[in-house]
Amino acid sequence: MNDERFSPAGVLAPKGKADLAFTMHILSWLAVDGTAAIVQFPGVLYRGGAEKKIRKYLVDGNYVDAVIQLPVDLFFGTSIGTCVLVLKKSKKDSNVLFIDASELFERSGTKNQITEPFRNQILEAYEKRENQDHFAQLVAIEDIAEADYNLSVSSYVEPKDTREKIDIHQLNKDIAGIVERQAKLREAIDAIVADLESAPSEATA
């Protein structure tokens, strides 16, 4: 705790989960006008305890510029989805940009790959810092504080609803038509059965 790289947060990262210790180290060496982009595992964005306190320091200090959710299965040795935590010491606003790039990939061999068009799409969203439905959301640090300093992208970017939309009025019409055709078919079948049942008695007479 006497190390000037870690002491500002008032707590040390857990020994077994030291991701945010590296983050604090990078921040301590970051130039005032510099930008750091750090690949992180998702757990550091929402776990409690010491990690939450470090996130609180990063958010309250207005160091977090953006969080970008990446697709799964990008890196060798792990298939888990990772994210990029972007830090700055001289931000122009007090908001954090959340980008959900989890679907921006192409399968290449045994791994997913973020191709150039997708990389450009992510960079363009990062530079514009504007809300985009189901992709990017600009969130005030006050709102993040109210959300218990959760930095998970899925908490702020609403996923696209891929469920099929159903026209209930058209569905009711279709059901009514099926019921009507079924009734007519039932009448036709009953008529045929009646003819068959009457045939033997007529032959006997």
In tens, the pLDDT along 85-134 reads 999 999 999 999 999 999 999 998 889 999 999 999 999 999 999 999 99
- In this prediction, residues 147-170 reach a mean pLDDT of 83
Question: How sure is the predictor about 169, in pLDDT bands with cuts at 50, 70 and 90?
Answer: confident
Phi, then psi, of 83 in degrees rounded to 5: -140, 165
**Closest Cα to residue 40, out of 98, 83, 101?**
83
* pLDDT score of 205: 46
Res. 201: pLDDT tops 70: no
pLDDT digits (tens, 9 = 90+) for 59-75: 999 999 999 999 999 98
Token pair of 187 as six digits? 């009448």
- What pLDDT is recorded for position 40? 93
Q: How many Å separate Cα 21 from the centre of its chain? A: 26
* Domain regions of the chain by residue span: 7-155, 164-205
- Tell me 70's DSSP state: P
156: pLDDT confidence band, cut at 50, 70 and 90?
very high
Give the range among 52-56, 76-80, 163-167, 189-193 with minimum mean pLDDT. Answer: 163-167
CA nearest neighbour of 58 among 104, 10, 1, 16: 10
Instruction: State the helix-helix crossing angle for 19-29 and 50-60, rounded to 10 degrees.
Output: 30
Give me the chain's average pLDDT, please.
Answer: 89
**What is the architecture of the domain spanning 7-155?**
3-Layer(aba) Sandwich (3.40)
